[in-house]
A and B are shown apart, each in its own frame.
Chain A
Amino acid sequence: MRFIFNLTRREIRSSWRRLLFFFLCIALGVGSVVALRSLIKNLTQVVGNDARALMTADFEVTSTNDFSPTDLSTIEGIIGRSAIVEARNETITTSSMARPVDPQNESLEFIDLKGVEPPFPLVGSFSLSTGDPFDFKLLENSGAVIAKILLEELKVRIGDRLKIGENEFEIRGTFDEEPGGTSGFRLGGRIFVEKKAFDNAGITQNKSRVRRRILYRTSDNPTELVKELRDALKGTTVQVNSYREQQENLSEQFERTENYLSLTGLLILVLGGVGVWNVARAFVEQKRKTIAILKCLGAGGTRIITVYLLQILVLGFVGSLFGVALAQAGLWVARMQFVDAMPAKMSYAVNIPTAWQGIILGVLISLLFSALPLLQIRTIKPKLLLRDENNENISKLDWVKWLFGLGSLAGLLGLAVWQAGSLKVGAFFLGGLAATGLVLYTSAAILTWLLRKLKSFSSFSIRQAVNSLYRPGNQTRIILLAVGLGAFVVITVQIMQTNLVREFDFSRNRRLPSMIFVDIQKSQIAELAQIIEQRTGEKPDETPTVRARISFVNGEPIDYQQRAVRQQQGQIGREFAITYRDRLEENETIVDGNWWAANQKNEIPEVSVETGMAETINILPGDSITFDISGRRVTARVANIRKIDVRNARTAFVFVFKPGALDKAPQSFAVTILKHVAATDRQRLQREILDKFPNVQIFDVADIIAAVNRLVNNFVIAISFVGSFVLLSGILILIGSVALTKSQRVYENAILKTLGAKRMTLATILFAEYGLLGLLAGLIATGFAVSLSYVVAKYLMRIDWEFDPLVALAGVFVTAFLVTLVGVAASFDVLFRKPLATLRSQ
């Protein structure tokens, strides 16, 4: 053992420089895994990790309508019989507009208003920005506690008064974080008021998007109670949710995201593994003589393998530690880059269990990828000290090698499954990686073969450069594979970005409204339309809207007891704005069934359903859907399935009724204008409308687009960030590969110099070699990136895809440039070696 430890120590001392690439490959891979996993773990911790605190209750009964007396008595009956309910309160939320009372202040903000009653919160805690606990007294007598960011947005201070709806509220405090943290994407900042005042403000009258909740705290697991309530309320618009289920859904979502991100990290780590394999292979080759000497001195093959394995383990471990440090640095960079998009209180520290996981991964990857090259030690015979000859038995079937190869593959699969948290996803990952690798490798082989066929270049330098790509022990295909894979990821992201940005570029959609006004009452519509026309010079488009929810599909209630259905609850169970009209819009097409003829009288109400929803609730023309419209049930026959081209849409209604059935239903109007008005005029118009019609809600589309663009950009930056890590691994492999073939290049250059080649000629060969290599890598990467982005856009994101020649050209040339730069820089010194010293040492 002493021999093993001593030799390992001495070998590390002398070889660490040569193994630096090995070390960096592992560090980069581990860094990616740890950084990505930590990021999502920290995010989970801030964003709704605690569903109970987020719900501020153990379970809730919620509806977007007023609770009907029947529903209420059903609920109260069941709750009354239960022994576990400890406390209850009610909340009501809606989106609204807030504006300062001060006439000098023209600010206007979209807000998320929440009316609460004591005790609040039922569970969890709620602190103000000052650190004091929330006190309900702050809300009494028209008080408001608002999100801190609103102070800035509305240009107000504590003590100022805000107008929301028809009521005025005094700002009595601010908070940084709501109970349970911030959850999800919200357009406006949150304002808390007293529930009583909320009702008085008149905001809830004729108002859509109001959500009422009855919250309960229980002394025991409420699952049975929730089930009983859900059964009793089947077919009504009332939903029952328990925090446990939400916790399950949330954790599942976060876990899935975390596992997918970890797979991205694993991809970088596997690329690092390829680097490790390459370095280990070259290392063993360089150490052949030392190994032969050791064998000659009496050390057995197993002991020598143990020495080098130990060395790999130590380097893998230290590299992984360095990777953890890199991850921390990466997280700090992420903080600088994304601080605005992330929750305020998020931690940017490396998660300790994740760090350990990363270290274990790093060491295992080091072992898996160096096992096969190290096994080569067995075949090195001490006799090479007497006569250097290649190992003759290399073509013989080596079952140990096969066994280790299969073992490594199984190990890799194990790691992928562990990281993905699923056998299927892990296997797909490895299969996908193998397929991509194979395709890239085959393309590389075909392209280099073609290049070889074109050998009749007139230039000596280029001929020589092409020859270099075939030098024995060349790294051409490995470099093409590694760099190609890195560039492939980055270019795919870039192409997706241009397509995504184009998708959300609203200047392309000439029918996208610039402003949307909703919740307009029938008595208000004429005057409101007139004001808009006066101020903008455009006659607005008016659409009647009715709020409705789905109660039954083909007479069956939607069964939210089923988990799969519950997961789509947001999509199916929400309140829909539906309309009625007798004609199809320009951007709509019928894919199944027929559009109704105008003026055709029919007793049975008919409805047209958008394709996506038809798929979700699984209906065809002829089926029936029963809607709950303010407590009244309307059953409609599905007349047709309709496709909406959202890229050319003014409005996009999921359900459209045939005129007749809804004419008498309680309805409001939505008004849209297309004209782009200057921002200040827009704000003035919104202010004027709100002063006159406080119940109306206004969506400024420019704001929404800006918010969406911010999201897309963050998404692109985040993926590019990860992609650049993949590219960096590829470049590392490139540098490593250049270093491995360097001695050969030095020798060749010495001979060429002796034969009279000028330094300029040699430099041209060098540039041509890496230029060609880079060009091939760029072509392969761009080719596959274009194909993949097409598939992703068309079938996964379902957005328009356009070929962007500029991005593609940039992809090819930037890759070629990078490879040339790195390749030439890493071997430039070769040109300046004196030939005699080189030839003598051979």
Chain B
Amino acid sequence: MIKLTNVTKTVRSGTEDLTILNQVSFNIPDGEFVAVTGASGSGKSTLLGLIAGLDAPSSGGIFIDEDEITAMSEDGLARIRSEKIGFIFQSFHLIPSLTAYENILIPMEILGLPNVAERAASLLDQVDLTNRGHHYPSELSGGEQQRIAIARAFANSPKILLADEPTGNLDTKNGQHIFDLMKDLHRQNDVTLILVTHDATLAAQAQRQIILTDGRVSSDDNGRQTREG
């Protein structure tokens, strides 16, 4: 369960304060697939970053299960991310100095899991890149890089998967492929999936859609069933 109560985020821009998120509150039950949409600058990515504990809100509370992450130290947040959260970025953010295979290993090694080699190999297989494991990110196409990023996000079997415009840097065909992959993994692993996207078609396939306008939740169709049922 993810719970946000009156989350506000203000940043300093030049000499003025700029409110990116304003009194945002909602709950997301376990296993739900939520799409967050909105215009550019509406605060979607910031919202996702706050849920992942990548940044702290200016006020308000964010809870993951029973833990209030807004009260946690940097290392405490790192532990929560390691154990519970997988993150997929628009620009992949793979570590350039590691091979595809090693990029998948990293989260498991951080957590100190056993038998990481088999798990990494199996994840590579799931994203259909078994023969590309020894390649460096710079040697992979955008679509391949994003598939590796998805494999990495699933490596620790997180309860929550956060995806920030994962198809934004890909062509339509690759974009659809990535989206399908995420959806499949969501279903198979029963994870909570929060997808930030511009793409109305993709958003429409989610179980629930939250629309942000100027940092506020302007629409939340809580309880809507996914069209695929």
Nearest-Cβ distance from residue B42 to partner chain A, whole angstroms: 14
B144 CB–A CB distance under 8 Å? no
- What are the interface flags for A1-18 relative to B under an 8 Å C-beta threshold, 1 for contact and 0 otherwise? 011001100110111000
Q: Mark A383-396, 1 if CB is under 8 A from B, else 0.
A: 10111000010000
- Interface residue B33 (Cβ < 8 Å from any Cβ of A): no
Tell whether B98 is near chain A: CB-to-CB under 8 Å.
yes
Q: Are B112 and A2 in contact (CB under 8 A)?
A: yes
A294 adjacent to B95 (CB under 8 Å): yes
Q: What is the distance, in angstroms, from B95's C-beta to the closest C-beta of chain A?
A: 5
How many angstroms from the CA of A15 to the CA of B95 in the assembled complex? 12
Assess whether B78 is in contact with A386, with CB atoms less than 8 Å apart. no
Please give, as numbers and ranges, the residues of chain A lying within 8 Å of B164 by CB-CB distance.
386
CB distance from A361 to the nearest CB of B (A): 29
Could you say which residues of chain A place their CB within 8 Å of the CB of B93?
Answer: 289, 292-293, 296, 385
Residue B154, interface by CB 8 Å = no
Contact of B89 with A300 in the complex, beta carbons under 8 Å? no
* A383: B residues at CB distance < 8 A: 49, 54-55
A293 close to B95 (CB less than 8 A): yes
Contact with B along A459-479 (1 / 0, CB 8 A): 000000000000000000000
Asked whether A11 lies within 8 Å of B111 as measured between CB atoms, the reply is no
Contacts of B75 in A (CB 8 A): 300-302
**Cβ contact of A298, chosen from B49, B81, B89, cutoff 8 A:** B81
Q: Which residue of B lies closest to A2 (CB)?
A: B109
Q: Is the CB of B82 within 8 A of A299?
A: yes
Residues of A within 8 A of B48 (CB): 386
- Identify which of residues 148-162 in chain B touch chain A, using a CB-to-CB cut-off of 8 Å: 152, 156
Interface residues of chain A: helix, strand, loop or mixed (majority): helix
Q: B105 within 8 Å of A by Cβ?
A: yes
The reply to whether the CB of B83 lies closer than 8 angstroms to some CB of chain A is yes
Contact across chains for A10 and B98 when beta carbons are under 8 A apart: yes
Total number of residue pairs linking A and B with CB closer than 8 Å: 88
B45 engages A387 (CB within 8 Å): yes
Chain A residues closer than 8 Å to B89, beta-carbon distance: 385-386
Q: Say whether A296 contacts B97, CB under 8 Å.
A: no
Chain B residues whose CB sits within 8 angstroms of the CB of A302 once the complex forms: 75
> Per-position contact with A for B98-119: 1 when CB-CB < 8 Å, else 0?
1000100111011110000000
List, in ascending order, chain A residues with CB within 8 A of B112's CB: 2-3
A293-B95, A298-B82, A302-B75 in contact; A10/B49 too (CB < 8 A)?
no
For the complex formed, measure the closest distance between the CB of A376 and the CB atoms of chain B, giving whole angstroms: 15
Residues of A within 8 A of B12 (CB): 392
With a cutoff of 8 Å between Cβ atoms, the chain B residues found around residue A14 in the complex are 96-98
B76 to chain A, nearest CB (A): 9
Query: What are the residues of chain A within 8 A of B85 when measuring CB–CB?
Result: 298
> For residues 103 through 148 of chain B, which have their beta carbon under 8 Å from a beta carbon of chain A?
105-107, 109-112
> B46 at the A/B interface (Cβ < 8 Å)?
yes
Do the beta carbons of A10 and B74 come within 8 Å of each other?
no
Cβ distance A392 to chain B, nearest Cβ, rounded Å: 7
User: For the complex, what is the distance from the CA of A294 to the CA of B81, rounded to whole Å?
Assistant: 11
B78, A6: Cβ atoms closer than 8 Å: no
Complex: chain B residue closest to A303, CB-CB: B110
The answer to whether the Cβ of A486 comes within 8 Å of any Cβ in the partner chain is no
The distance in angstroms between the C-alpha atoms of A386 and B55, with both chains bound, is 10
Cβ of A83 within 8 Å of any chain B Cβ, yes or no, is no
Is A295 engaged at the interface, CB distance under 8 Å to the other chain?
Answer: yes
By a CB distance below 8 angstroms, the chain A residues around B102 are 10
Q: Mind listing 19 A-B residue pairs with CB under 8 Å? A: A3-B110, A10-B98, A14-B98, A290-B96, A296-B81, A297-B87, A297-B110, A298-B78, A298-B79, A298-B83, A298-B85, A298-B107, A298-B156, A299-B78, A300-B74, A300-B79, A381-B54, A383-B49, A386-B48
Contacts from B to A (Cβ < 8 Å): 12, 45-46, 48-49, 52, 54-55, 74-75, 78-83, 85, 87, 89, 93-98, 102, 105-107, 109-112, 152, 156, 164
Q: Which of A's residues lie within 8 Å of B, judged by CB?
A: 2-3, 6-7, 10-11, 13-15, 289-290, 292-303, 381-383, 385-387, 392
Contacts beyond the supplied A294-B110, A297-B82: 5 A-B pairs with Cβ under 8 Å: A14-B96, A14-B97, A294-B106, A296-B93, A298-B110
Q: Which 6 residue pairs of A and B lie closest in terms of their CB atoms, listed nearest first?
A: A298-B82, A14-B97, A3-B109, A383-B55, A300-B75, A298-B81
